Amino acid sequence: MPRKLTRVAKRVETAINSIEEATASAGSKVQHGLSDTAAAIGSSSVVERVEKQARTSRKAVAKEIAKAKKVGKKQFATATKRVGVAKKAARKQVATVTKRAGLVEKAAKKQVATATKRAGVAKKATKKVVKKQVSTATKSAGVAKKATKKVAKRATDR
C-alpha cells in the first residue's frame, strides 16, 4: 500500500509543479486561483489518507527505534554487569594468590627456623660427644700413664 501512496503523492506533486509553472506564465489572477485549488487538494480525502498512513508508518518506525534503543540499553547493562563480575573474580584470585604466597613465606620461615634450631641442637650434641670422647680419651691416657708409671716403677724396683 505505501508504494501506491508514494506514487499518488508523486503524481500530485508533479501536477502541482506543472500548474505552478503554468501560473507563473499566466499571471497573478490565475496563480491565486491555483493556490485555492492547491488548498482544496490539500484538504481532500486522498491527501488525508496519505498523511494518516505516513503517520502510521512514522509511528512504526519510532516504535522500532525505541525497541532498538531498549535492546541496546539491555546489552550495555549486561556487558557492564559481566565486566563487574570479571573484575570481582580477578580481585578474588589476586587475594587468594597473595594469601597463598603469605602462607608459603610463613611456612618457609618456619622451616628455616626449625632447621636452624636442629642445627644448633646437633652442634650442641656434637660438642658434648666430642667433649665426652676427649675426656674419655684423656682419662684413658691418664690411666695408661699411671699404669705405665706403675709398671716402670715395678721394673725399677726389681
- pLDDT tens-digit profile, the chain (158 residues): 567 767 777 777 787 777 777 767 666 666 677 677 777 766 677 777 777 777 777 777 788 888 888 888 888 888 889 888 999 999 899 888 888 888 888 888 888 888 888 887 777 888 787 877 877 877 777 777 777 777 777 777 76
Cβ-contact 50, 5 below 8 angstroms: yes
pTM metric for this prediction: 0.36
Distance CA 83, CA 90 (A): 10
Cβ-contact 23, 31 below 8 angstroms: yes
Write down the residue that cell numbers 500500500 correspond to. Answer: 1
Cell of 50: 496519505
Distance CA 36, CA 123 (A): 123
61: left (phi over 0), alpha (psi -120 to 50) or beta: alpha
Residue 53, CA distances (Å) to 12, 50, 152 in order: 16, 5, 145
What pLDDT is attached to residue 42? 67
Cell of 128: 658434648
For residue 45, the SS3 value is: helix
